[in-house]
Structure 1
């Protein structure tokens, strides 16, 4: 995960996108002390969201109106060691809550409140100590931190934040389900070699303390090559165990699971274009499962508002385990659809998704976007039929460096309702969903 120890400009904030900013708590920092060898910064991010869904997905009628919020606050620092590189570290607390009815899927009930550490990690970078590996060619870190592999298609963070609405509250993580107030894995050890250009790779160990993830423990390795046209990468992930007290039969298959993937991202040498793909294979006790996607897009830089058009096709086999994927490059990755991916399903398993995205910048500090998703369930049988379509319209307005407002309206139309094999209570009519999120980063 890239670490930011400086204040970002307004265009950078818009480039991150709100959904990325929520998962990158160190993207904003206020300098407290700085000299030639030492820096100390204060981290602060406050986010509040108001949500309304006219339909529910937990078997109850009447829709839901709820509010979520969190404040993330802490310190980051670096200490130079001369020719021996540098030390760095971060400690961030998070206070979070949900109010009102709780979310439309019933994961929260509106009574969640808690304050806990999220990130608490330290690390060492090699500086010029190993010239063959480049500047900071060795980066070793450990503790509570976010781990992301590639663009988060398999491993993005530990961002599922269940509340008291399920499992008699045993999975409660303190509210802010949609905003995903907490992202860090509980225990990690990460070794990165070779920097970010040319040939580079990493070895990782991480363990979740998230009961909704059955406290999964995994090891991983990556090998990547980056050049001007883009990056090609290989990933291997091995499951080391789960906590049987919280694991479903499906999650127990993570123990001993092996995952292999080939991925790529870049412009392939075409100005204003962007492409990405990943093909992943899960080898587990119940058999092999596959997931993959292809994506291509183009920014029409010479047109007014510089519109960017993207198409993506993704497919997840019937028993694919979505593991730790999450919001990475903005809305739609890898929660595909604000209603479907957060409340109604599908949840990146047993489905194929066609996605079309369009965004434009009428002003430097304003991005407008439209997202369309078409979902098809691969195998119904005993599974829910989650065929449907969703259109999301949103704006990201950075009023200044310390205030971002993001309204969104979603129209979700399932093929089936709860009474005939779907998940939406009260039939298969179109659900009108709205949210307004206000972020205050420093």
Structure 2
């Protein structure tokens, strides 16, 4: 297939990063050495994906077929200090690449390859040294690491992995756009106080080296209370600086921006239920912006396959900046729709989204899922009309401890196309999107 890429970077387009789910599991590490005081573990995760979209969203006709992959490998060390807490550290390299046509949004062209450090951080935990603050009531860390605040609605990680398809390659991060091979912020200082129960909080400073994020620098603080029914939390974020060479006019408003949010998550004391919400507002030069969601779900544990049904409504104002959002609880958070969330838009701005999700567990190692999304553009004047609907069907199969296979089929139907106010090229018919992702964690 030959076509000409004439895309521009969607200001909030972000790959899903399914590998985060495997990367967060203990299966990713294998013990190399251990004694009473020291533990050394090796980290390894390989992820490979095959992707096909019959439609494009970058101005080019036809569709796209491409492949993405990365290997993450490194070491983690923990050293206890005779009643004075423990030291810990991690160093992980990531080798990544994209092959074929590049993705359907035109953010990569299939020629991206690189090997770089992703995580490289060290820290100290207090252990039982400060009993008033609980076990590990002080946790201080520095370096390249992933930072997540709450549910990842605003800050989940630095997972935007743009390739060479835009800005003459200046924003290239080395491939694996959808898989989001890299997640760590370049420079961080994090102080967590109070453990994970009762009253606890954190103070954070972090700086991105991601040019697609304009090398944004920010500071943040959180205050949370966790009990059996769930967690309530407050977040404050302040924008310190952006690199004006790479920043769009939209991103330049991060300099001096203040963000506030109130959030909650838990079962509210109802067995098998799950609830969450967040209400956030941004105070910036162009005026205040708001985003919020509310979600409720229930697992029918006594029925065959334990069906879990979820409904969520989310709303993002016209100029909401989706910041560093990312995948936190699997498909649909916070890239809502595999086609819409990654390639077509809306990209968590100027939209209202209704979502219904169903998960089934036929066996301990297999999950079957269906995700439905309905998108409504709030303001169409001087903006694309991205009204549409999407249905995603997927299977997650943990074939064994070191092999996870996930096929997915996406059906995306926009109301408009590139000829009358939308961005799907070749008419507004249903796009059939497919992918197969294989993860090998150790």
State whether TM-score is above 0.5: yes
Under a length normalisation based on structure 1, what TM-score does the superposition of the two structures give? Answer: 0.95
Q: Is the 8 A contact 1:222 1:236 kept in 2?
A: yes
Q: Is the 8 A contact 2:45 2:72 kept in 1?
A: yes
Q: Is the 8 A contact 2:27 2:401 kept in 1?
A: no
Equivalent pairs counted in the alignment come to: 426
User: Per the alignment, in what secondary structure is the counterpart of residue 302 of structure 1?
Assistant: coil
For structure 2, list consecutive stretches of 5 or more residues without a partner in the other structure. Answer: 1-16
Q: Is the 8 A contact 1:21 1:27 kept in 2?
A: no
For residues 142 and 52 of structure 2, what CA distance do their matches in structure 1 show?
39
Q: Structure 1, residues 214-254: CA drift from partner, whole Å, max 9, x if none?
A: 00000000000000000000000000010000000000000
* Deviation at residue 22 of structure 1 after TM alignment: 5.2
2:28 aligns to what? 28
Under a length normalisation based on structure 2, what TM-score does the superposition of the two structures give? Answer: 0.95
1:115 corresponds to 2:115: yes
1:103 aligns to what? 103
For residues 211 and 280 of structure 2, what CA distance do their matches in structure 1 show?
25
Q: Structure 1, residues 362-411: CA drift from partner, whole Å, max 9, x if none?
A: 01100000000000000010000000000000000000000000000000
Q: How does 1:43-122 map to 2 (within 5 A)?
A: 43-122=43-122
For residues 268 and 24 of structure 2, what CA distance do their matches in structure 1 show?
27
* Deviation at residue 62 of structure 1 after TM alignment: 1.4
Aligned-residue Cα RMSD (Å) equals: 1.0
1:303 aligns to what? 303
1:223 corresponds to 2:223: yes
Rate the CA distance shift 1:310–1:399 in 2: closer, same or farther, 3 A.
same
User: Per the alignment, in what secondary structure is the counterpart of residue 250 of structure 1?
Assistant: helix
Q: Is the 8 A contact 1:370 1:393 kept in 2?
A: yes
2:362 aligns to what? 362
1:322 aligns to what? 322
User: Per the alignment, in what secondary structure is the counterpart of residue 372 of structure 2?
Assistant: strand
1:39 corresponds to 2:39: yes
For residues 240 and 266 of structure 1, what CA distance do their matches in structure 2 show?
33
Q: Is the 8 A contact 1:23 1:183 kept in 2?
A: no
Q: Is the 8 A contact 2:43 2:75 kept in 1?
A: yes
1:232 corresponds to 2:237: no
For residues 25 and 122 of structure 2, what CA distance do their matches in structure 1 show?
15
Q: Is the 8 A contact 1:384 1:421 kept in 2?
A: yes
Q: Is the 8 A contact 1:278 1:293 kept in 2?
A: yes
* Deviation at residue 80 of structure 1 after TM alignment: 0.3
Q: Is the 8 A contact 1:25 1:43 kept in 2?
A: no
* Deviation at residue 26 of structure 1 after TM alignment: 6.8
For residues 245 and 281 of structure 1, what CA distance do their matches in structure 2 show?
27
User: Per the alignment, in what secondary structure is the counterpart of residue 342 of structure 2?
Assistant: helix
Rate the CA distance shift 1:25–1:425 in 2: closer, same or farther, 3 A.
farther
Moved over 6 A (4+): none
Rate the CA distance shift 1:203–1:150 in 2: closer, same or farther, 3 A.
same
Rate the CA distance shift 1:22–1:379 in 2: closer, same or farther, 3 A.
farther
* Deviation at residue 436 of structure 1 after TM alignment: 0.1
Q: Structure 1, residues 103-141: CA drift from partner, whole Å, max 9, x if none?
A: 000000000000000000000000111110001000000
For residues 203 and 131 of structure 2, what CA distance do their matches in structure 1 show?
20
For residues 62 and 200 of structure 1, what CA distance do their matches in structure 2 show?
52
For residues 188 and 31 of structure 2, what CA distance do their matches in structure 1 show?
27
1:405 corresponds to 2:405: yes
* Deviation at residue 21 of structure 1 after TM alignment: 1.9
Rate the CA distance shift 1:279–1:27 in 2: closer, same or farther, 3 A.
farther
1:164 aligns to what? 164
